[in-house]
Amino acid sequence: MAFYYRLIQNRMKGNKNNYFAKIYNPSTITEKEIMEHMVNQGATITMADVLAVLKALEKALLYFFTQGVNIRTRLFNFQLSIRGTFQSEDDYFNPNRHKLHVVCRPTKLLKKTLTKVKLQKINVPATTPVIERITDLNTNTVNTQITANNVILIEGSKLKIDLNDPRQGIFFIDENKNEIRPQQIFTNTSSRLLLSLPPDIAGPVEVEIRVPAFKDRDIKFFRFPHKLKVRKPDSQTSSP
């Protein structure tokens, strides 16, 4: 799967000819999914084995954090630092003014692995709406699936829809090119759409938003780059 990014103009004074990259929020993998992946690799370990090792590792790491030592692992190196300013050489740590902070740095192994990540640029005009993140509030999964007859949160920019204009809206497009509108929209702002899905939606689906550009009545389109699975409330899932 590609890692998507787009370029945004740097509007700080003196830097308007420069651009910076903004990454689309990728899918989120939970600890449970990592454990399932480990077990499914064909190893002789069970889910109980993995859980026991991870719990033991967690307990050990938390212990060594309390000892104030630097921790080196195969993927990450950890160390503690203090944030905040001290008023004089005789000043002491005050939790109201200072914070203990964990610094996490990637190891050479992780840096080498990152060179294998596939990057794909998305060209999006500044006046075009952009969907960056879709969260299924039924399962708390991000950018991978949605649940029929449940609520999802869509985040991005320039998302606000004129509900009285039939040209505008958020559309879920299935493999037969059927365009399905949400059952109800609860929150409708430029950066957030909170909406409920109809019970008969089936996947996989693509998500597209259609709204006019600022001071422009022409409709602008943006299609989210990830196809989404549709999960039924009874946990049955339709997959790509």
- 137-158 core/surface letters (b: 16 or more CB in 10 A; e: else): ebeebbbbbbbbebbbbbbbbb
Cis peptide before 204 (omega within 30 of 0): yes
What pLDDT is recorded for position 132?
86
Location of each CATH 2.70.50.70 domain in the chain:
125-238
Q: Which class does domain 125-238 fall in?
A: mainly beta
Question: Which residues, other chains included, contact 225 with Cβ-Cβ below 8 Å and sequence gap of 6+?
Answer: 4, 24, 120, 122
Q: Where do you find CATH 4.10.520.10 in the chain?
A: 28-116
- State the pairing for strand pair 151-157/130-136: antiparallel
Side-chain-side CA neighbours of residue 13 (13 Å): 0
pLDDT tens, residue by residue, 201-228: 987 999 999 998 655 578 888 889 889 9
The identity of residue 63, as a single letter, is Y
pLDDT at 16: 64
pLDDT in tens, 8-62: 777 776 666 788 887 765 567 788 888 888 888 876 889 999 999 999 999 999 9
State which amino acid sits at residue 185.
I
Q: What is the 3-state secondary structure (H, E, C) of the chain?
A: CCEEEEEEECCCCCCCCCEEEEECCCCCCCHHHHHHHHHHCCCCCCHHHHHHHHHHHHHHHHHHHHCCCCEECCCEEEEEEEECCCCCCCCCCCCCCCEEEEEEEECHHHHHHHCCCCEEECCCCCCCCEEEEEEECCCCEECCEEECCCEEEEEEECCCCCCCCCCCEEEEECCCCCEECCCEEEEECCCEEEEECCCCCCCCEEEEEEEECCCCCCEEEEECCCCEEEECCCCCEECC
Whether residue 210 contacts residue 220, with contact meaning beta carbons closer than 8 Å, is answered with yes
Other beta carbons within 10 angstroms of residue 35's beta carbon come to 17
**Class of the CATH-defined domain 28-116:** few secondary structures
What tens digit of pLDDT does each residue of 151-200 get? 999 998 889 999 998 999 999 999 999 999 999 999 999 889 999 999 98
pLDDT tens digits along 223-233: 898 899 999 88
